[in-house]
Amino acid sequence: MTVNQRRLTQHYFMTAPMPCPYLPGRFERKLVTELRGPEANNVHDLLSRAGFRRSHSIAYLPACSDCNACIPVRVRSQEFRPSRSFRRILGKNSDLVRSELPPTATQEQYQLFNSYQDARHGNGDMARMDARDYRAMIEDSTVESSVFEYRRPDNSLIAVALVDTLADGLSAVYSFFDPAEHRRGLGTYIVLDLIEEARVLCLPHVYLGYWIGDCRKMSYKMRFQPLEGFRGGEWVAMQDDEVPKEPTSKAVLGE
């Protein structure tokens, strides 16, 4: 059996409707598939180029019948140039040291995760995650994943990012940071650091997950230009005015 034949036998399932965590009064459904076996990384690469995201050992895609607000977005890392405000954030965090580690959960990470959730997402589902749930989020991966830890000069942990490595880029799965350090702009800094890492690795993209125009929490993603959004089966350039421009590439499973 060839690699392409194995991909064609991938099984997909539709989830039951659940309240949308981003748009009040709406319900979401997802198309999901497992990432298992020797071809998990290759399948993950293909699905990411088609707008899917990873959580634990599954890949998922929003499949809501009456809504298409979730748009997968990615930064064209090799063309990215930091603005003056981005350079200020890089300067504020120039004292931090980043280590790339295997996807292993630690108590120190979990404590920081709890502080972040309490301060930023106290009413969300993730705020109810215990240490076992956190460990599963970090360690239950069947693809190439890493944990990026960011530390102050005194070696205390200030930020963490769970990152997948794809054939064409880095995927920011989830990140969190010390909420008391809000002046540093750590969420933005982590994205800037991933873009720079992709540039060093000669990878063309950094995948930032989904962008929703009506969701204030996701508005920051539009600042990372040039940005592409996946719409109508192809990646299109997206500008600050939130209007998709010319097609840049089309994703075809099995390419």
> Which residue reads 């990384």 in tokens?
41
**Residue 5: its pLDDT value, please?**
41
What angle (nearest 5°) sits at the alpha carbon of residue 30, between those of residues 240 and 255? 75
pTM of the model: 0.90
> Is residue 222 exposed (0-12), middle (13-18) or buried (19+ Cβ within 10 Å)?
middle
Which CATH superfamily hosts domain 73-203? Answer: Gcn5-related N-acetyltransferase (GNAT) (3.40.630.30)
Domain spans, the chain: 3-62, 73-203
DSSP-assigned states of every residue in 7-59: HHT---EEPPPEE-SSSTT-EE-EEEEE--STTHHHHHHHHHHTT-EEETTEE
Q: What is the mean pLDDT of residues 12-21?
A: 93
166 pLDDT more than 90: yes
pLDDT of 251 reads 52
Q: For 126-157, how does the pLDDT look when each residue is reduced to its tens digit (9 = 90+)?
A: 767 999 999 999 999 999 999 999 999 999 99
Is residue 240 within 8 Å of residue 226, measured between CB atoms? no
Start-end of H helices in 54-173: 84-92, 107-120, 131-139
Amino acid present at 226: P
Q: Does pLDDT of 248 surpass 80?
A: no
Residues 6+ apart with CB under 8 A from 72: 51, 52, 53, 207, 209, 210, 211, 229, 230
- Reported as a single tens digit per residue, the pLDDT across 79-117 is 999 999 999 999 999 999 999 999 999 999 999 999 999
Q: What is the pLDDT of residue 120?
A: 79
Q: Measured between alpha carbons, how far is 17 from 157 in angstroms, rounded to an integer? A: 38
Q: What confidence category does residue 65 fall into, taking pLDDT thresholds of 50, 70 and 90?
A: confident
Model pLDDT for residues 17-50, shown as the tens digit of each residue: 999 988 988 999 999 999 999 999 999 999 999 9
